[in-house]
């Protein structure tokens, strides 16, 4: 099989299009690049959707934590404590078994599938982590800004929308960039917790692991995986950097480059 044919056969394998059987012997470099790249579709899917939902939910959660109303603040504090204090890996396991129970009871049976259930867990997790960041940013909005808004006669919603909220976003953005990177890296955990890779449609790490198991040679698939991840991480950093520039567009010369500071698993 030529490389082009391999790409046609396996390029979209992870979403079930193309050849059904995975290669079993005589693995070529091309096959490894194609399949691992194809698995990356799932990593991007999880990362983009979880970030998309999490962005809005986490701001709501961060505001809830800063709320003076105890019935709003307490649940938010507990939620953040639980999701930040426990390993994501355990959360995946626990959630999967909860979803299994649901399935037994006939409620929302599709949640046991990775593309829905794991996405829910990732959204909940990133919401907790980013909520803490937005909360911290909210606390450090300069009081002078708020006072200036007061002096202009702004109150309530207008003051929040035009002064507090943009400042909060701007302050939280560098930390939020890092959160986005962790989340992207955390998507590799999905198929290694309980969620099954139905018909061997897995993510990039799933295929890398498949090749490492079959060839018993980790020195090829994992570096390929690492290369893909570094490229996409840099892309992510670039995109968030553009957003950072836009958020700080009124402060010429203040725009600092966001430091690329990836951290570990949660």
Partner 1 sequence: MGLWWSFLTVLALLAITAPTALTFGFGGAVAARSDIALLRWLGKAYIAVVRGVPDIAFFLFFVIALDQGLEWTRHQITCPGWTEPIWQGNDFRVCDAAKLPLSSSPQWMHEVYGFFLAVVTFAIVFGAFAANVLYGAMWSVPDSQVEAAHAFGMTKRRAFWRILVPQMWIYALPGLSNLWMILIKATPLLFLLGVEDIVYWARELGGTKTEKFTSYPHGDWRLWYFLGLLIFYLAFTKLSEFALARLTRQLSRGRPIKAALA
Rounded Cα distance, 98 and 121, in Å? 11
Give the shortest CB-134-to-partner 1 separation in angstroms: 19
Give the shortest CB-159-to-partner 1 separation in angstroms: 27
Which residue number, 14 or 59, has a Cβ lying nearer to partner 1? 14
Give the shortest CB-221-to-partner 1 separation in angstroms: 9
Which residue number, 163 or 208, has a Cβ lying nearer to partner 1? 208
Give the shortest CB-266-to-partner 1 separation in angstroms: 6
List of residues contacting partner 1 (CB under 8 A): 25, 81-82, 85-91, 93-94, 97-98, 100-101, 104, 185-186, 188-189, 192, 205, 208-209, 212, 214-219, 222, 225-226, 229-230, 233, 260-266
Which residue number, 63 or 225, has a Cβ lying nearer to partner 1? 225
- Contact by Cβ (8 Å): 62, 129: no
Rounded Cα distance, 14 and 213, in Å? 18
Which residue number, 147 or 213, has a Cβ lying nearer to partner 1? 213
Sequence-distant contacts of 177-180: CB under 8 A, at least 24 apart: 177/236, 177/237, 177/240, 177/241, 177/244, 177/258, 178/261, 178/262, 178/263, 179/126, 179/129, 179/130, 179/133, 180/47, 180/51, 180/236, 180/240
């Amino acid at each position: 099989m030529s490389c082009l044919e391999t790409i046609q056969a396996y390029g979209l394998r992870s979403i079930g299009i193309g050849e059904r059987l995975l290669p079993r012997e005589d693995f070529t470099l091309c096959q490894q690049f194609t399949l691992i790249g194809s698995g990356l579709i799932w990593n991007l899917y999880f990362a983009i959707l979880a970030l998309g939902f999490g962005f809005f939910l986490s701001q709501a959660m961060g505001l809830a934590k800063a709320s003076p109303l105890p019935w709003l603040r307490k649940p938010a504090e507990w939620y953040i404590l639980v999701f930040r204090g426990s390993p994501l890996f355990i959360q995946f396991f626990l959630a999967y078994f909860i979803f299994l129970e649901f399935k037994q009871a006939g409620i929302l049976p599709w949640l046991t599938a990775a593309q829905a259930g794991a996405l829910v867990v990732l959204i909940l997790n990133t919401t907790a982590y980013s909520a803490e960041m937005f909360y911290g940013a909210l606390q450090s909005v300069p009081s002078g800004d708020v006072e200036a808004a007061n002096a202009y006669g702004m109150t309530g919603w207008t003051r929040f929308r035009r002064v507090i909220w943009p400042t909060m976003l701007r302050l939280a953005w560098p930390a939020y960039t890092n959160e986005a990177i962790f989340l992207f890296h955390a998507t590799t955990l999905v198929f290694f917790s309980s969620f099954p890779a139905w018909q061997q449609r897995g993510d990039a790490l799933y295929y890398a692991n498949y090749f490492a198991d079959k060839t018993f040679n980790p020195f090829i698939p994992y570096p390929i995986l690492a290369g893909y991840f570094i490229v996409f991480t840099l892309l992510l950093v670039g995109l968030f950097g553009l957003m950072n520039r836009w958020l700080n567009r009124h402060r010429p010369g203040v725009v600092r480059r966001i430091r690329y500071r990836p951290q570990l698993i949660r």
